Chains A and B, each alone.
Chain A
Amino acid sequence: MSATHAEHAPGMPRARLARAWLRYAVEPYLYLSPALLLICFVMLIPLAIGISYAFQSINLLRPFDAGFVGLENFETLVGDGRFWTAMSNTFWWTFGSVTLQFGLGLGLALLLSTQFHGKRLVQALVFLPWAVPTFLIALTWSWLFNPVIGPLPHWAAALGLLSEPYNILGDPDTALWGPILANVWYGVPFFAITLLAALQSIPSELYEAAEIDGASRWQCFTKITLPFLGPMIAITVMLRAIWIANFADLIYVMTGGGPANSTQILATYVFTTAFRKLDFGYASAIAVALLGVLMVYAVILLVVREKLVRV
């Protein structure tokens, strides 16, 4: 017992110091090394290689035509009408999805923050879409839009939204609404969960005090709830937008970017160029452009965040 105490006393011998150094400088990296090695070899090194591909001609269908080509891929990109269509589609896809997901998610969160019968069951049921695999969401919704087996075209025609029950995924003017609706179905629970957690962190004393002072429900919502949730909402929405802009699964499965390129977003354009045309150089150039757009957006996000925090 006394021996152990002596070892912990100040003025440790050199060997102890070395052991302490080993413990505090080396030991954590021992635990981290598998994670770091995998991330480096599977994500960071391929990322660097991917960026370098953007400046090369790499097409698996033309294996002898490979090599560095400078900015040629980007020059093609600027003149590529599909690329600019994909750019504007990315915006509408992200904007439409986020707005609807957020609006419906906020409504759901407000409902779930009140008391009602069967709340636990309702909560479990409305969060279920969040757990459904995305490829299955895409297939299910494309089946729902199919007039042969799905009810949606018939309902829309009965309501007068469509002239006759046809598949909106086959019409360039309406096709993007298909994946957006599927994405809304999938994303509402995410917003509801985050916003519900935030709602529950607002101290209830505030509402009690407001009620004693005679505030209406609407006043409580605009004067207490919104100011409290504001900054959190802004950050969640903006981060979610990045995630959705990169989210290619739904569109790829539901329309493959068609008809006539009308649902192609940058992320699906990257995938179809790499997967169907095996043109890795051009795909990487599109990906780099997407990364650039996202980085500009991230800078805007940081500025907005700064403003919000200062207020």
Chain B
Amino acid sequence: MAALRRTPPALVAGKYAAIAAYVAFALFPLYWLLKIALTPDALIFSDGTALWPSELTLDNFRTVIFQSDFMAYFRNSVIVSLSTAAATTLIAAAAGYAFSRFAFRGKRWVVALMLLTQMFPLLMIIAPIYKLVAAIGLLNSLTSLIVVYTAFNIPFATFLMQSFFDGIPRDLEEAAMIDGCTRLQALRVVILPLTLPGLGATLGFVFTAAWSELLFALMLINSNDAMTFPVGLLTFVSKFSVDWGQMMAAGVLALVPSCLFFLFIQRYLVQGLTSGAVKG
């Protein structure tokens, strides 16, 4: 729009001011987190609301990494999130492929079932899940978290994978199958390379979802050894709520994997949604 007509300079200035305000709003909380994490403990109170710390230190990070349990929590979270992401992507890819390539009896019911799981409040099943997991003796184990998270993420991941498969022309694998490939060979040789970006995106989405899940992890885990990062951080906060610098350093560490994923995904975000919107 702006390119089409001559814009009055006051409006341009207003626009840039609005953009700056949005950027400041989005970044300020994260900046503050980083600022307190880098401020030496002795200066936290005297610095007060100063926007820039008068002295920088990495002590808080050092303490968190070498002298606390946070690295164990971090490791637990990485194990849970990676396993969940891998298992979900594999299972959802198979299901998404079935949705994309077959017209079969009962398909509408299966789709409806998957949509249903997205509608009801997940907290409804927190008590039954606790009892079931306790009954098979898997409380305080990462396995139970992995299984639960995998199931939670399958419906969304399936629809995501289906949309990626829908984007690959059917003719490609049919041609391969006419040339004598079995379906599995056609999948491996023709479809897999084309769908790698889709698999990557699904892995990333599920990883971040599993990384941030808190309430089920709180319910199912209470031994220190098996705590994931969110549970560990929350327990730390409620026990030692004065080590501000260390808590925020731990927070900054928790942010790292999500930010990496975000950098990877953000350029596809608007593009992908746009092409989807045009199609619909």
User: Footprint of B on A, CB under 8 Å?
Assistant: 24-25, 27-29, 31-32, 34-36, 38-39, 41-47, 49-51, 53, 58, 104, 107-108, 111, 113-116, 122-137, 139-141, 143-144, 148-151, 154-155, 185, 188-189, 193-194, 196-198, 200-201, 207-208, 211, 217, 220, 242, 246, 248-249, 252-253, 267, 270-271, 274-275, 280, 283-284, 287-288, 290-291, 294, 298
Contacts and interface: CB of A to CB of B under 8 A. Distances in A.
B240 interface: no
Contacts of B22: 104, 107-108, 111, 122, 126
A57 B113 CA distance: 29
A130 B247 CA distance: 22
B123 A248 contact: yes
Contacts of B266: 123-124, 127
A139 B237 contact: yes
Given A32-B94, A154-B49, A185 B25 contact: yes
Interface stretch (B64-72, B126-134, B190-198): B126-134
B258 interface: yes
Contacts of B121: 246, 267, 270, 287, 290-291, 294
Interface string B131-144: 11000000000000
Contact of B215 (A193, A198, A252, A298): A252
Contacts of B42: none
Interface in B91-122: 91-92, 94-95, 97-98, 101-105, 107, 110, 113-114, 116-117, 119-122
A126 B19 CA distance: 9
A108 B29 CA distance: 18
Interface in B1-59: 1-5, 15-16, 18-19, 22-23, 25-27, 29-30, 32-33, 36, 44-45, 48-49
A136 B23 contact: no
A132 B124 CA distance: 25
A47 B124 contact: yes
A116 B98 contact: no
A155 B49 contact: yes
A49 B128 contact: yes
Interface in B229-280: 230, 233-234, 237, 244, 247-248, 251, 254-255, 258-259, 261-263, 266, 269-270, 273-274, 276-278
B181 interface: no
Contact of B32 (A53, A128, A151): A151
Given A47-B124, A116-B16, A280-B131, 12 more contacts: A28-B107, A124-B266, A127-B269, A134-B214, A139-B234, A149-B44, A194-B273, A249-B215, A267-B121, A271-B126, A287-B121, A294-B121
A193 B270 contact: yes
A301 B230 CA distance: 35
Contact of A185 (B29, B104, B214): B29
B212 A139 contact: no
B270 A196 contact: yes
Contacts of B219: 274-275
Nearest to A133: B212
B19 A111 contact: yes
B200 to A, nearest CB: 15
5 closest A-B pairs by CB: A133-B212, A42-B151, A131-B262, A197-B273, A280-B127
A46 B125 contact: yes
Given A107-B18, A122-B23, A200 B274 contact: yes
Contact of A144 (B27, B29, B119): B29
B150 interface: yes
B15 A50 contact: no
Contact of B113 (A44, A58, A189, A284): A44
Most chain A CB within a 10 A radius of its CB, from B131, B155, B211: B131
B98 A193 contact: no
B244 A39 contact: no
A189 B25 CA distance: 12
A43 B125 CA distance: 7
Contact of A125 (B15, B23, B94, B123): B23
